[in-house]
Chains A and B, each alone.
Chain A
């Protein structure tokens, strides 16, 4: 390593509530390098980027930029310091022109204080030419451009002010191969101009294609920084996985596994996957089937299609050997399926309503007669559900918003359990839940399968799936990449499938 890093981060810590998002992050950026950040979902990459770009303040640790302490209080401060981020989600104003978007942070003015359109278009032209986008007219509305061009325009915008560090957060997630290549050429050009590029990606082949060094994150910590030339993709995966997980966290008693097939999905196609291999699998009675995969791999889409939350293109669902037609959540619930959604605030809870009202939402029939609510019965149902799940609350009439993340999740569970479903679909069941509540939720789920319920659990946390599931199905690109039995579990193997390592050779040509 050379003597003077451009940016140096050491022992950085940041927590949200009880969750340690960053728990000792240290790394350095050399001037003019392309530096990859890799790690599982939730390993801390996004939080680090948000700290560097002034969205979050850090709790402890040091960051120095050019030897001076760096602690941006706002995104604006970060930009002034020369750190620019191109986010995963686009921050473009779709109905304005390319030029307007590029100048949005500082519109050029004439002496009269009016918008200087000529100057604005000139600046945009320069910015686009700088990254080789000579074919795009700066007066085109952004809406008319493809996804790839929008991404490049974000990069052009980020670069036109004096950038020293450009952070690209999963820039290739929505790009085709050709577009990705173009992006890489641009990155190479940016690097040649002396700008340092931080590249966050889930695709190891890309990391090995364009980066000089790689830093691996795991559980909020940086595990290692290596020269790309010195490591192989397999080494990086090993760093991401870490020590082999203690075996047998799961009781391992498979006596609860029934012989019957509780759910069979055959030839399922979602709107996200109109052309690929359709999804087919079976779920046994009393089984917990895990679905692993990266964000966007198609796991949530499968659950939503089974439950009828989104229309499916094609495919058969059989419950207990009988084909069922599910055209909406109503059908699914009637057939005995429950669905604990990924985002409890947006889809699960009615935050401004009492705990009791949330608990009874799926099973209003039981607590009412001829459409009239029986509040006594409702409180009874909520109290029972709460006791069963060890819910910690003040009063049942408190709003759901007043509960902690773990307890909110328990209310969502209680809501579905009130109807005693035969099959429970769970999407990220412990997201934003502290460690203690997590263990409690695992216990609850195990009790339920012991009683004969079957479950499908989607999770981005591999330890969770390994602890909880009898089988793990791995998805990537909307397709099933493989299914592992308990005996074959290893984080490494799951990640290999999830990163589509089988396809690596096809992805790198060119």
Chain B
């Protein structure tokens, strides 16, 4: 992972990285043990084909979870990303099937329209919850319904299909067995890591999650940072919508139901605190992998999808309990 490869030089930075490595190590070790277990239990697990499968399956959740990490870091939550993804997909689907344009123009138009649609939803979430200091839980619950309704209304509850060939190709293309869409998700992780760890913006995102009042009194426009965090979450929902369309070659207004919960689960399993201020996008990456590997592996060793769901739930609970102890340990 290129994100953790940045080698620290000074002792100060080393200790900082070591701490974050230790924080992430637990999740990493859990993931490695899981991979070890499944590769022993099932001969197919480590096959090239199956690895490609896993990477494809986690891509959309990973993209959504990257945006969700920003919102959870400021102490918020976004329940609307599944619906917003469907809304963005329908908007992009309408754009990409416009008559009278060439394939390249259509694809560019669709990507812009989808991403913009997602961002608009995110901005609304952010402005409303930050301006009136309302719990984002409720505001995004509202958006969950609004965006879903809008998706159904715009599409006439019909699935949109027949996209340009180049677009469909992008969704299924592999480079050395790695899906291109996964590489897109991985790029987002790297960018998010950079923004959160190397920029003033990221510093203040963590700061707001830890102590909003201290950040406000230091003269920083907390309102706009909150809006930005929700906008990023909407943006990633828009990107997820494009990837979803490219992979399945359709855009459906009923796509993405329950996706918000998987995205939140990835962030939480990745060690980001629900109360904000603590966590990392590398953790989110590992969290998305844990969910994906569990889903894939449990099916491979012959367990039913219902059992898989129970085990995934159990992992979320365990992750939060572990996080409780980690918070206690780091406080003392």
Chain A residues with a Cβ under 8 A of chain B: 307, 309, 328-330, 332-334, 339, 341, 346-354, 356-357, 361-362, 364, 368, 371-373, 375-376, 379, 395-397, 399, 401, 415
Chain A residues lying within 8 Å of B175, measured Cβ to Cβ, are none
Closest chain B CB from A170 CB (angstroms): 26
Closest chain A CB from B279 CB (angstroms): 11
Q: Give A349 to B210 CA distance when docked, in angstroms.
A: 9
A350 pairs with B16, CB closer than 8 A: no
Chain B binding surface, main DSSP class: helix
A415 pairs with B210, CB closer than 8 A: no
Closest chain A CB from B37 CB (angstroms): 34
A373 pairs with B12, CB closer than 8 A: no
Residues of chain B from 1 to 42 with CB closer than 8 A to chain A in the complex: 10-13, 15-16, 19
A352 pairs with B16, CB closer than 8 A: no
A349 pairs with B214, CB closer than 8 A: yes
Chain A residues lying within 8 Å of B215, measured Cβ to Cβ, are 350, 361
Closest chain A CB from B306 CB (angstroms): 38
Chain B residues lying within 8 Å of A309, measured Cβ to Cβ, are 216-217
Chain A binding surface, main DSSP class: mixed
> B13: nearest residue on chain A (CB-CB)?
A375
A-B contact count (CB 8 A): 87
Contacts known (A364-B200, A364-B203, A368-B200); A351 close to B216, Cβ less than 8 A:
no
B210 pairs with A350, CB closer than 8 A: yes
Is B218 close to A, CB under 8 A?
A: yes
Is B207 close to A, CB under 8 A?
A: yes
A347 pairs with B200, CB closer than 8 A: no
> B197: nearest residue on chain A (CB-CB)?
A373
Residues of chain B from 297 to 332 with CB closer than 8 A to chain A in the complex: 330-331
Contacts known (A397-B15, A397-B16); A330 close to B219, Cβ less than 8 A:
yes
A346 pairs with B211, CB closer than 8 A: yes
B210 pairs with A353, CB closer than 8 A: yes
B12 pairs with A361, CB closer than 8 A: no
**Given A307-B217, A372-B199, A415-B218: 17 more A-B contacts, CB < 8 Å:** A309-B216, A309-B217, A329-B218, A347-B211, A347-B213, A350-B206, A352-B210, A362-B218, A364-B203, A373-B198, A373-B199, A375-B13, A395-B15, A397-B15, A397-B19, A399-B330, A401-B331
A329 pairs with B200, CB closer than 8 A: no
The 5 tightest CB contacts between A and B, nearest first, are A333-B219, A330-B219, A350-B210, A361-B218, A362-B218
Is B221 close to A, CB under 8 A?
A: yes
One of B10, B213, B221, B278 near A352 (C-beta < 8 A): B278
Q: Give A346 to B217 CA distance when docked, in angstroms.
A: 11
Q: Give A353 to B10 CA distance when docked, in angstroms.
A: 18
One of B198, B211, B330 near A372 (C-beta < 8 A): B198
Chain B residues with a Cβ under 8 A of chain A: 10-13, 15-16, 19, 198-201, 203-204, 206-207, 210-211, 213-221, 277-278, 330-331
One of B207, B278, B330, B331 near A361 (C-beta < 8 A): B207
Closest chain B CB from A330 CB (angstroms): 4
Q: Give A341 to B12 CA distance when docked, in angstroms.
A: 29
Chain A residues lying within 8 Å of B16, measured Cβ to Cβ, are 354, 397
One of B12, B213, B278 near A395 (C-beta < 8 A): B12
Name 15 A/B residue pairs within 8 A (Cβ), A-sorted.
A309-B216, A334-B219, A350-B206, A350-B277, A352-B277, A352-B278, A364-B200, A364-B203, A364-B204, A364-B220, A368-B199, A375-B13, A376-B10, A397-B15, A397-B19
A329 pairs with B219, CB closer than 8 A: yes
Chain B residues lying within 8 Å of A415, measured Cβ to Cβ, are 218
> B14: nearest residue on chain A (CB-CB)?
A397
Chain B residues lying within 8 Å of A379, measured Cβ to Cβ, are 10, 12
Identify which of A350, A362, A395 gathers the most chain B CB atoms within 10 Å of its CB: A350
Q: Give A354 to B13 CA distance when docked, in angstroms.
A: 11
A350 pairs with B13, CB closer than 8 A: no
Q: Give A397 to B221 CA distance when docked, in angstroms.
A: 25
B219 pairs with A351, CB closer than 8 A: no
B277 pairs with A330, CB closer than 8 A: no
Closest chain B CB from A167 CB (angstroms): 32
A351 pairs with B218, CB closer than 8 A: no
> A348: nearest residue on chain B (CB-CB)?
B214
Chain A residues lying within 8 Å of B10, measured Cβ to Cβ, are 376, 379
Q: Give A352 to B215 CA distance when docked, in angstroms.
A: 13
Chain A residues lying within 8 Å of B11, measured Cβ to Cβ, are 395
Chain A residues lying within 8 Å of B331, measured Cβ to Cβ, are 401
Identify which of A339, A362, A375, A401 gathers the most chain B CB atoms within 10 Å of its CB: A375
Chain A residues lying within 8 Å of B203, measured Cβ to Cβ, are 357, 364, 373
Chain B residues lying within 8 Å of A364, measured Cβ to Cβ, are 200, 203-204, 220
Q: Give A379 to B10 CA distance when docked, in angstroms.
A: 11
Chain A residues lying within 8 Å of B13, measured Cβ to Cβ, are 375, 397
Chain B residues lying within 8 Å of A368, measured Cβ to Cβ, are 199-200
